Structure 1
């Protein structure tokens, strides 16, 4: 029986990158198919339907990457860190990730204490900036952390192609992004605050390869 090699399989599965249901159904066919599909699914893990079980599993996978010192610090703060039963993951999942969606990450983290939630969010963002080798998509609506101060953030943000944000974010945040994100191709801004935001103006001004711009007013007069 003729067997397709991994490169051919990858090209085929790429055609289904927006059809996560079909990709998930192919995961269990054999090891080769699984190894080929996982990088595609984890390129943007936030675009798949996330139910309660998936939410907990995602939380456990991301927590796996936290250092022992960080885990110890968070536990001392009363934050329960989910664990994965096996000693190691089957894949280096975050190395395949090319996108960060702040809203979904925040939704995955369910902690009653707002302070503890803030701490865990910070550590998760730090891990993504460290582990994602090339960041292509960033959705920072409702973000409260200045991720461009994290180590290696400048390298990750330089490759950013698509950014979604809103005007509730402090102007200084956009000035920070403008230092590194100058080749954004697709920029979507939700205007939820009628106040002037000079940082957004600066971010738009420094762009050198902008191909699509969308501004949506979403506030009540």
Structure 2
């Protein structure tokens, strides 16, 4: 009966997936509700109406997955990282993620260090982390990407399931060539025009 109840709860919470306030409230009810809501919240953790620049909790959760060697390297660059946890986190949050939004992730990463050069190091490590931890990706926003993620070891397995891609006209064409060799199932392509040319018409 408890299994049935959890399945029913999941269907109900799925209907609330765009209502972050209600979902966050459901987390506090009991353990079953919490266990059911977490995968829904983390399926697309970038879609909620919150200020991601100030979401230290998200930054700490994501960076807690970094290996000790990577942490040591980043700390030497004066990048802020949370202390090492002596017990595992309650959920494998990144394993629920199916959406990868570079714009928002970069905003979260900026919490670690204000220096753009150091942010680039952290971006590379965290992008690679997502490629390893996310079982499959359905949505990818590369509008502000600076790293060729399709070269990461796990990229092919994660990106071949991609259904929706968001990008802009300022992105170097090499990114599209790289993704085209992997992503064969894209159904939706959202291109934002960043190169605005004013057409003054023809003079007579």
Per the alignment, residue 153 of structure 1 pairs with 155
Contact 2:53–2:107 at 8 Å: present in 1 too? Answer: no
RMSD: 1.8
Deviations 1:4-26 (A, max 9, x none): 62111111111111111111111
TM-score (norm 2): 0.90
Q: Partners in 2 of 1:86 and 1:23 — Cα distance?
A: 28
Retained in 1: the 8 A contact 2:52–2:108? no
Deviation at residue 112 of structure 1 after TM alignment: 2.2
How far 1:191 moved relative to its partner? 1.9
Q: How does 1:4-153 map to 2 (within 5 A)?
A: 5-51=5-51, 55-83=55-83, 87-110=87-110, 111-153=113-155
Query: CA-to-partner distance for each residue in 1:19-77, whole Å, 9 max, x for gaps?
Result: 11111111111100000000000000001123379610010001001000000111112
Dislocated runs of 4+, deviation >4 Å: none
The match for 1:171 is: 173
- In structure 1, list runs of 5 or more residues that go unmatched: 194-218
Gaps in structure 2 of 5+ consecutive residues = 199-204
Q: Comparing 31-40 with 71-80, which one deviates more in the overlay?
A: 71-80
Question: How many angstroms apart in 2 are the aligned matches of 1:146 and 1:76?
Answer: 24
Normalised by the size of structure 1, how large is the TM-score? 0.83
